[in-house]
C-alpha cells in the first residue's frame, strides 16, 4: 500500500514537472511571438521567411515538378494549343535509338516522312545542363472526338525558371523553323463566306521564271527589305504591308510570279475574287480572316465594277440600275466600294501587326483608278512584258537544259525583237520535242512565221486604211 502511494507520488511529481516545462515553453513562445511582431517590421519578417525557405529547398534539390501541356487550350471551343503541336514536332528529333514507341508516316502529297512519339515510352531531352523528361498521355482511342491528349514535362524543381524562360522558347523556335522548312503552302479562295483551303502546288520559283535578271533582283531585294523592316514600319507608324501591282498581257507570267513570291517567302496565298464580296464589311471580314504572313491576291482588278464605281455615292455601278427589279434590289445591298479597299490598303482596317503582301494583277493598268496606284498602296509596279533575249535564255535553260551559248540563240534574239510573243507561247513550243536542238530549230521557224504574219498584218492594215481613205467622200 505504501509502495503504491510512493509510486503514485513520484508519477504525480513527474507529471507536474512536465506541465511546468510546457507552461514555461508556451509563455516563452508567446513572448517571442509578441516581441517579433512588435519589434520586427512585416517586410523584414517576410524576407527572413523567404530566405529560410530557400535554405531548406537546397536540401530538397532532387524534387521533381511537372507541367502539363494539353492538346487543346480551350477544350469547349476546340481551340488548339500551339505548344502541344510544337512538342509533337520537336520531340521526334530528340529520341535516341533505344526509344521504343516511334510512329512513322507520310501525309498525302507531302514530301517528307513524318515522325511522332506515342505514349509508350518517355523522351529524355538535355538542354543547357538540364535533364527534361517528356511523357505523352493519349486520351480515349474509342471516341476520337474526345481524344484529349497531353504532354507532361518533368524536371528538377530548381530549374523551373530556366525551363519557362529558356527551354520552352527554344522548343517553340525549333518547331517554327521546322514548320517553315517542311511547310506545304496553302491556297485559300473566298467562297460562300469563308476561305476554302487547298494545297498551293504551283512549282514556280524565281529560278524558273523567265524575267530579266535585273527585274528579278529588284523584286527579291524589295521582298527581303520589306521583311527586315518590321521595326521601321512600327517607328514611322505604317501598317507592315507592301503592295505590288503586276501588269502586262495575258501569259507573261503574272500568276507564276505570285507563286514564285509565295514559294520564296513561304507565305500562304489568299486569292480574293472581288465579285464574291457584297459589302465593305464583307471585305473587312475576309481580309481580317486571312492569316498573317500571307499574300493577298486580287486578280484582274480592272475588271471589277465596284472598283470603278468610286464616283457613284452609293457605291453601285451604273450598269446595276438597268438590272431587273429583284436583281436590282439584291445588287443595291451590294455596298462594297473602292474606298473600303483603300481603307484596307492604308492600314486603317487591318488587324494584326504581322507582315502582309497585297498583289493586284491587271492586263490594263490604264483602266485602274489612280487612287489605288499611288505609293503606299501599290508600292511597286511590275511590268510583265513580252519575251526578249535575256529572259529567253532562262526558258532555254529551264526547258531544254541549255546553259551558256547555242548557235541559234542570236537568230532567236533577233526574231524576238521583231515580234510580240509571250513566255507562255514560247514555253509551249519548247515542250514539243525532247531534242533541244530540234526544239530551237522549230522555234526559229515558228518565230519567222509570226514575224511574216505580223508584217502581212501591218501591210494589210495599211492597205485597208488606204482603201477607207479613198472611199471616204470629201
Ligand atoms: N515569265 C515566265 N517565266 C516562265 N514561265 C512563264 C512565264 N510567263 C508565262 N509562263 C508560262 O506560261 C503559263 C501561263 O503563265 P501565267 O498564268 O503565269 O501568266 P499570266 O500573266 O498570269 O496570265 P493571265 O493574265 O492570263 O492570268 C505558266 O504556266 C508558265 O508555264
Nearest CA residue ID for atom 12, ligand 1: 424
| Residue that is last in its domain, among 351, 383, 415 | 383
Nearest CA residue ID for atom 10, ligand 1: 424
Which CATH number characterizes residue 272's domain? 3.40.50.300
> Do both 203 and 88 map to the same domain?
no
Which of 253, 250, 272 lies closest to 261, judged by CA? Answer: 253
Query: Given this model, what pLDDT does residue 456 score?
Result: 66
> Do both 296 and 310 map to the same domain?
yes
Q: Are 195 and 289 in contact (CB under 8 A)?
A: yes
Structural domain contains residue 80: yes
Which of 338, 197, 342, 201 lies closest to 270, judged by CA? Answer: 197
* Ligand 1 atom at minimal distance to the Cα of residue 395: 4
User: How many Å lie between the centroid of ligand 1 and the Cα of residue 331?
Assistant: 34
Which of 297, 302, 424 maximizes ligand 1 atoms within 8 Å of its Cβ, making it the mutation to test the pocket? 424
168 or 319, which is more confident: 168
Which of 383, 382, 408, 375 lies closest to 393, judged by CA? Answer: 408
| Residue that is last in its domain, among 161, 182, 203 | 182
Mapped onto helix, strand or coil, the DSSP state of residue 314 is coil
| Residue that is last in its domain, among 367, 383, 399 | 383
Range of the structural domain that residue 413 is part of: 389-471
Ligand 1 site: residues with CB under 6 angstroms? Answer: 209-211, 250-256, 363, 384, 423-424, 427
Q: Which DSSP category does 317 fall into?
A: -
Strands 186-191 and 194-199: antiparallel
**Burial status of residue 152 (CB atoms within 10 A of its CB: 0-12, 13-18, 19 or more):** middle
Query: Given this model, what pLDDT does residue 82 score?
Result: 84
446 or 56, which is more confident: 446
| pLDDT exceeds 70 at position 448 | yes
Q: What is the pLDDT of residues 47-86, one digit of tens each?
A: 887 777 766 656 555 689 999 999 887 766 556 788 998 9
Query: Given this model, what pLDDT does residue 332 score?
Result: 45
> Do both 174 and 223 map to the same domain?
no
Q: What is the pLDDT of residues 327-348, one digit of tens each?
A: 544 444 456 677 777 777 776 5
Mapped onto helix, strand or coil, the DSSP state of residue 259 is helix
> Do both 357 and 455 map to the same domain?
no
The whole-number average pLDDT for the span 417-444 is 93
| pLDDT exceeds 50 at position 221 | yes
- β-strand partners of 298: 272, 360
Q: Which DSSP category does 347 fall into?
A: T
Q: How many domains, in total, are found in the chain?
A: 3
Residue-by-residue DSSP string for 198-243: EE------TTT----HHHHHHHHHHHHHHHHTHHHHHHTT--SEEE
Q: How far is CA 120 from CA 64, 101, 123, 140, 340, in A?
A: 21, 5, 10, 15, 55
Query: Given this model, what pLDDT does residue 193 score?
Result: 80
Q: How far is CA 136 from CA 126, 141, 305, 373, in A?
A: 17, 14, 55, 54
418 or 104, which is more confident: 418
Structural domain contains residue 10: no
> Do both 235 and 356 map to the same domain?
yes
Using CA atoms, how far apart are residues 135 and 155, in angstroms rounded to an integer? 12
Query: Given this model, what pLDDT does residue 315 score?
Result: 42
Using CA atoms, how far apart are residues 302 and 373, in angstroms rounded to an integer? 12
> Do both 96 and 144 map to the same domain?
yes
Structural domain contains residue 24: no
Query: Given this model, what pLDDT does residue 320 score?
Result: 43
> Do both 215 and 322 map to the same domain?
yes
Amino acid at each position: 500500500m505504501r509502495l503504491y502511494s510512493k509510486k503514485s507520488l513520484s508519477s504525480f511529481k513527474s507529471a507536474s514537472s512536465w506541465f511546468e516545462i510546457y507552461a514555461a515553453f508556451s509563455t516563452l513562445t508567446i513572448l517571442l511571438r509578441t516581441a517579433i511582431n512588435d519589434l520586427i517590421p512585416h517586410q523584414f519578417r517576410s524576407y527572413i521567411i523567404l530566405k529560410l525557405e530557400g535554405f531548406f529547398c537546397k536540401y530538397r534539390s532532387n524534387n521533381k515538378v511537372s507541367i502539363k501541356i494539353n492538346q487543346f487550350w480551350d477544350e469547349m471551343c476546340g481551340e488548339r494549343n500551339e505548344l502541344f503541336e510544337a512538342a509533337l514536332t520537336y520531340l521526334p528529333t530528340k529520341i535516341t535509338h533505344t526509344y521504343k514507341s516511334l510512329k512513322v508516316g507520310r501525309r498525302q502529297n507531302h514530301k517528307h516522312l513524318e515522325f511522332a512519339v506515342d505514349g509508350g515510352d518517355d523522351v529524355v531531352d538535355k538542354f543547357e545542363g538540364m535533364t527534361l523528361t517528356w511523357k505523352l498521355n493519349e486520351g480515349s482511342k474509342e471516341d476520337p472526338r474526345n481524344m484529349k491528349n497531353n504532354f507532361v514535362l518533368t524536371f528538377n524543381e530548381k530549374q523551373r525558371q530556366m525551363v519557362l524562360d529558356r527551354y520552352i522558347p527554344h522548343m517553340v523556335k525549333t518547331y517554327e523553323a521546322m514548320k517553315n522548312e517542311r511547310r506545304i503552302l496553302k491556297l485559300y479562295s473566298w467562297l460562300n463566306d469563308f476561305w476554302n483551303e487547298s494545297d498551293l502546288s504551283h512549282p514556280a520559283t524565281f529560278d524558273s521564271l523567265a524575267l530579266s535578271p535585273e527585274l528579278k533582283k529588284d523584286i527579291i531585294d524589295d521582298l527581303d527589305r520589306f521583311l527586315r523592316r518590321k521595326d521601321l514600319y512600327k517607328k514611322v507608324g505604317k501598317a507592315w504591308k507592301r503592295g505590288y501591282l503586276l501588269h502586262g498581257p495575258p501569259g507573261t507570267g503574272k500568276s507564276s510570279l505570285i507563286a514564285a513570291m509565295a514559294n520564296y517567302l513561304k507565305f500562304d496565298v489568299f486569292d480574293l475574287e472581288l465579285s464574291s464580296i457584297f459589302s465593305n464589311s464583307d471585305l473587312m471580314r475576309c481580309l481580317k480572316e486571312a492569316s498573317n504572313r500571307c499574300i493577298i491576291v486580287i486578280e484582274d482588278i480592272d475588271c471589277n465594277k465596284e472598283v470603278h464605281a468610286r464616283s457613284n455615292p452609293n457605291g453601285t455601278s451604273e450598269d446595276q440600275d438597268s438590272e431587273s427589279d429583284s436583281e436590282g434590289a439584291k445588287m443595291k445591298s451590294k455596298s462594297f466600294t473602292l474606298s473600303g479597299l483603300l481603307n484596307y490598303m492604308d492600314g486603317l482596317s487591318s488587324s494584326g501587326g504581322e507582315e502582309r503582301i497585297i498583289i493586284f494583277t491587271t492586263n490594263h493598268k490604264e483602266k485602274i483608278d489612280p487612287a489605288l496606284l499611288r505609293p503606299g498602296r501599290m508600292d511597286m509596279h511590275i511590268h510583265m512584258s513580252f519575251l526578249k533575249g535575256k529572259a529567253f535564255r532562262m526558258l532555254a535553260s529551264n526547258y531544254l537544259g541549255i546553259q551558256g551559248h547555242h548557235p541559234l540563240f542570236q537568230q532567236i534574239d533577233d526574231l524576238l525583237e521583231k515580234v510580240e510573243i509571250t513566255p507562255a507561247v514560247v514555253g509551249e513550243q519548247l515542250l514539243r520535242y525532247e531534242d533541244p536542238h530540234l526544239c530551237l530549230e522549230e522555234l526559229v521557224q515558228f518565230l519567222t512565221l509570226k514575224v511574216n504574219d505580223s508584217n502581212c498584218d501591218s501591210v494589210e492594215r495599211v492597205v485597208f486604211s488606204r482603201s477607207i481613205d479613198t472611199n471616204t467622200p470629201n
